[in-house]
Chain A
Amino acid sequence: MKPFTNIPKQIEEVLEKGHVTTSRRDLLKSAGLLVVSFSGTGSSPLIPAASAQAPAAANGAGPYSDPDFRQLDSWIVIHEDNSATFYVGKTDLGQGTGTAIRQIMSDELDIAYDKTSVIMGRTDLTVDQGGSGGSDAIQRDGWPMRRVAAEARRVLLELASKQLGVPVDQLAVSEGVVTVTADPSRKATYGELIGARRFNVTLTGDNINATTGVAKVKAVQDLKLVGQSLKRYDIPPKVDGSLKWAVDVKLPGMLHARNVKPPVAGAKLQSIDESSVRDLPGFVKVVSKGNYVAVVCEREEQAIQAARQLKVNWRKPETPSFPDSEDLYRYMRSATPTSSPKQNVIGNPDAALASAVKVVEAEYDFPYQGHTAIGPAHATADPSNGQMTIYSNDMKSYGMRRGVAEFLEMPQDRVRVVWMEGPQGYGRTAADDAGFEAAFLAKEVGRPVRVQWMRDEETAWDTKGPAYAFKLRGGLDAQGNLTAWEYNARAADYHHVGYNEPDTVLIAQLAGMGRSNPASGRASTPSDMYAIPSRRMTTQVVSMPLVFETPLRTGNLRDPDGPQVTFASESFIDELAAEAKADPVEFRLELLTASTEEDDGFKRARSIAVIKAAVEAYGWETRPSPKPLDSGAILTGRGIAYSYRSQTVAAQIAEVEVDRRTGHVWVKRLVCGHDCGLVVNPEGLRRTVEGAMLHSLSRTLCEEVTFNTEMITSVDWGSSPTLTYADTPAQIDVVVVNGDPKPDRPDLPPYGAGETACKPLIAAVANAIYDATGVRIRRVPFRDARVLAALKAARV
């Protein structure tokens, strides 16, 4: 077994030894690489290292300066053995992002994929591309990566031209070996051309996204690695147990901490009886500030025991913190919104509804849902040498660095975050808590501290996707055409938590260091390309009674708002299609093809293409829903829904079996037509899309945050169920479409693929249940009892 890590071996070694004292530049020196320089134009001689660049400010003990994105060697280092290391400011959340980045950069550089590695999201080594989020790793941040790799290739060819005495246009390059076209026996490898030295090439660009050299990127047709289903490099070490994750960091003198959370939301700390734990073995300290309490011990199990045993007196709030979760939607519909409604109006909806032959109206309810990572929040912080190093799976490590520096009132260059792999959090780690807590506690006790949340703490207190209450109205004319559409959404999203903000992160709120003005939050509108002559979309935000220090704090949950909004909008389109006695696919295609507006990015054309691709792959039979009721115990049906996110479009068909005796819904088959433009790794894309669909299926069938008026009651995998094997479809087909009218264009861009497939799934299942049973389920999740009650009420 080849040991593997996604951080450099040298770093791993010092991790093993305990202290990270080595900077990247030290590493390069220790690896025999001297910093030397040559001009980007290829006309100047090589310059000795000392005069070429300012001495490296950074060393392992800090301070930690920011890598300069306008320097080529901040992105790419070529080694003597003709291998390359890429340094990028993204993180991989388990979707093969690192593999895809190696593919696109290797392709532009013309180096063998196997000879490359990538370092991601480590704030003192990699340029600040913000970490991950918004499915933008390839769509946005892949462009500067491609351009700098192309520039490195150009510079290397210039060097080869000099060394071989042949003009660049008479050279060829393949897998890092430059050959003279006329005489292939004359050659030089990248390693020979630059090995033991570094690029000293200044790039341009107003910001990191615009970073570029002189070279142009290749035409899509010239890319060789892009489009191949290369296997993910991170899977073998995840399967053999050799990968060192953020949870695995161990440092000399490291202590373990556990939090003691308020027993009910909004409780205020009255007193702590430290004598209740002082005599426990390994006890080090109780740390508290405001309503934040943690126990620090020598060993992990000791910290767990001490946190359980610590006697703390809390004062409960005098008024309810929230409505009971069964009363949530009545509360949301009657609450006074936090601000005046936002409206988006096309045509004349009032007149169109008044003149409609049929008006359809429906309300939909969507609960708070947790991020509910399989592994609770965790981080380790090292306060050695007056610096702060945080080992974290924070997807936005750069944001955590800035946030922690501000939170601890430390200069930013004394803080660094070492991103390491962790459990997929679906956005949870964009508002990571444990890194702030570990740093706070490490500063308090002056030793490295590892903190990890417990399961009930994570499930109750992690960030939540906001609950929504919808009301929709639609008008049909005599021919069954949709003429008017009115959408009202209320989201329980007040004080939405941002990315690693030092004044909204939970410890800041609990410790009395949080902001006093809540973030406004938002309610979202549907993403579709339907041509509806008159539309009115109204959105409002409502607040729970408890605004701060609440376990119902909302944060970005994978495709934020998309599943909620699309559940309502695409269920309602189906209701209108049923009212018009139209086939659900034909009804949608008519709404798409009716438009005469300009089709920016061909999004409408691609919407039509993905729907048609899904329909064909499924073998869709054209007929209205619902189908005539089956006589047996198992009722079957199919439903479709479609949406887009940014420029990526997805259409999904769900086939369901509904057990009329129990209300149990099994989604037997899923088909997804998916268009994200240029595909870097098709098999990686398929698995990502499958994962996104099944995550949404879990949200469809299982997930709901439940609470009484003072605390969350869904706190573990029993009370907060998730999808299991038993619910897994028997067949999933992902049809990768390129619906661009000119699919072979050389500049075909890649679009994000991590989240779009989350959007339509819930509505597709709801529409399939309707097709099977004639019963419309308008509240998520579709747990057995809810479906059974709806079937019984409809006498199915």
Chain B
Amino acid sequence: MSNITLKVNGKTHTVDIDPSTPLLYILRNDLGLQGPRFGCGLGQCGLCTVIINGEATRSCIMPTSAVKDEITTLEGLAKEGTLDPIQQAWIDEQVPQCGFCQNGQIMSAKVLLEKNPNPTDAQIREGMTSTLCRCMTYYRIQAAIKRAAKVIAGARPASEKEVAA
């Protein structure tokens, strides 16, 4: 056991744990976060996805001691009580069925749109294909990602839009 300091959703925490413990268990059991969930423990399904340094990271296979940068979880996407446009698009398109995997879908979509604000259908398929959903909500997720991309583009300052164009 040893003390490890983690910055999560803007807050700093110190936990006394076995440093090889996958990050997922620390987030869920020590920091009380519910967004990331256990699905496979193998990095295959994406339920445990968090964002670290702009990358969608599978926290079930990430040793906590290896995490140096700030962690963003699903709970950290909303800013000042306003949902992220991706979360709002998920509601507007009524994406989830059971919703158990949707943390992974939303966090993966967040990274996808950060990297590519205007993805084609093919790019969405490629970018999201390793994030699994057993309710098979993929069709609606695709629609929600496109909706969110439009909202985000509309909210961007004009100068930035020109750069993007």
Binding site for B on A (CB under 8 A): 1, 93-95, 231-232, 234-236, 238-245, 247-248, 250, 281, 299-301, 304, 372-376, 421-424, 426, 452, 454-455, 683-684, 687-688, 690-691, 694-695, 697-698, 716-718, 722-726, 728-730, 732
Q: Provide a sorted-by-A list of 13 A–B residue pairs whose CB atoms are within 8 angstroms.
A: A235-B96, A241-B74, A241-B103, A242-B75, A243-B99, A245-B34, A301-B22, A374-B132, A421-B98, A687-B97, A716-B44, A729-B139, A732-B139
Q: Which chain B positions have C-beta within 8 A of A245?
A: 34, 37, 100
Q: Are A695 and B87 in contact (CB under 8 A)?
A: no
Q: Which chain A positions have C-beta within 8 A of B133?
A: 374
Binding site for A on B (CB under 8 A): 1, 18, 21-22, 25, 28-29, 32-35, 37-42, 44-45, 47, 73-75, 77-78, 81, 83, 87, 90-91, 94-103, 106, 121, 124-126, 128-142
Q: Are B100 and A454 in contact (CB under 8 A)?
A: no
Q: Which chain B positions have C-beta within 8 A of A688?
A: 97
Q: Which chain A positions have C-beta within 8 A of B139?
A: 690, 694, 728-729, 732
Q: Which chain B positions have C-beta within 8 A of A697?
A: 136
Q: Which of A422, A426, A687 contacts B140 (CB 8 A)?
A: A687
* CA distance in complex: A732, B142 (Å): 12
Q: Which chain A positions have C-beta within 8 A of B121?
A: 730
Q: Which chain A positions have C-beta within 8 A of B101?
A: 374-375, 423
Q: Which one of B25, B29, B131, B134 has the highest number of Cβ atoms from chain A below 10 Å of its Cβ?
A: B134
Q: Are A240 and B75 in contact (CB under 8 A)?
A: yes
Q: Are A243 and B39 in contact (CB under 8 A)?
A: no
Q: Are A239 and B134 in contact (CB under 8 A)?
A: no
Q: Which chain A positions have C-beta within 8 A of B138?
A: 694, 723-725, 728
Q: Are B100 and A301 in contact (CB under 8 A)?
A: no
Q: Are B91 and A301 in contact (CB under 8 A)?
A: no
* CA distance in complex: A698, B138 (Å): 12
Query: What residue in chain B is nearest A696 (Cβ atoms)?
Result: B136
Q: Considering the complex of A and B, which 4 residue pairs feature the smallest CB-CB distances, nearest first?
A: A94-B98, A694-B136, A238-B99, A424-B98
- Main SS at interface, chain A: loop
Q: Are B35 and A235 in contact (CB under 8 A)?
A: no
Q: Are A374 and B74 in contact (CB under 8 A)?
A: no
* CA distance in complex: A228, B41 (Å): 41
Q: Are B130 and A374 in contact (CB under 8 A)?
A: no
Q: Shortest distance in angstroms between A753's beta carbon and chain B's nearest beta carbon?
A: 13
Q: Shortest distance in angstroms between A763's beta carbon and chain B's nearest beta carbon?
A: 18
Q: Which of A452, A691, A729 contacts B135 (CB 8 A)?
A: A691
Q: Shortest distance in angstroms between B83's beta carbon and chain A's nearest beta carbon?
A: 6
Q: Shortest distance in angstroms between B120's beta carbon and chain A's nearest beta carbon?
A: 12
- Additional pairs, 20, CB under 8 Å, beyond known A239-B106, A240-B77, A247-B37: A93-B98, A238-B96, A243-B34, A247-B38, A250-B29, A299-B25, A301-B18, A373-B134, A375-B37, A375-B47, A423-B98, A424-B100, A455-B44, A687-B97, A690-B136, A695-B134, A717-B42, A724-B130, A726-B126, A728-B142
Q: Which of B42, B44, B83, B99 contacts A94 (CB 8 A)?
A: B99
Query: What residue in chain B is nearest A234 (Cβ atoms)?
Result: B99
Q: Are B125 and A728 in contact (CB under 8 A)?
A: yes
Q: Are B34 and A375 in contact (CB under 8 A)?
A: no
Q: Are A455 and B41 in contact (CB under 8 A)?
A: yes
Q: Are A281 and B39 in contact (CB under 8 A)?
A: no
* CA distance in complex: A114, B94 (Å): 18
A240-B87 contact, Cβ under 8 Å, with A424-B100, A725-B125 = yes
Q: Which of B29, B78, B129 contacts A725 (CB 8 A)?
A: B129
Q: Shortest distance in angstroms between B130's beta carbon and chain A's nearest beta carbon?
A: 7
Q: Which chain A positions have C-beta within 8 A of B18?
A: 281, 301
* CA distance in complex: A236, B106 (Å): 13
Q: Which of B1, B134, B141 contacts A722 (CB 8 A)?
A: B134
Q: Are A725 and B106 in contact (CB under 8 A)?
A: no
* CA distance in complex: A236, B95 (Å): 10
Q: Are B97 and A239 in contact (CB under 8 A)?
A: no
Query: What residue in chain A is nearest B90 (Cβ atoms)?
Result: A239
* CA distance in complex: A321, B34 (Å): 40
Q: Are A241 and B81 in contact (CB under 8 A)?
A: no
Q: Are B98 and A236 in contact (CB under 8 A)?
A: no
Q: Are A231 and B91 in contact (CB under 8 A)?
A: yes
Query: What residue in chain A is nearest B138 (Cβ atoms)?
Result: A728
Q: Which chain A positions have C-beta within 8 A of B87?
A: 239-240
Q: Which of B33, B41, B74, B97 contacts A424 (CB 8 A)?
A: B97
Q: Which of A243, A717, A732 contacts B44 (CB 8 A)?
A: A717
Q: Which chain B positions have C-beta within 8 A of A695?
A: 134-136
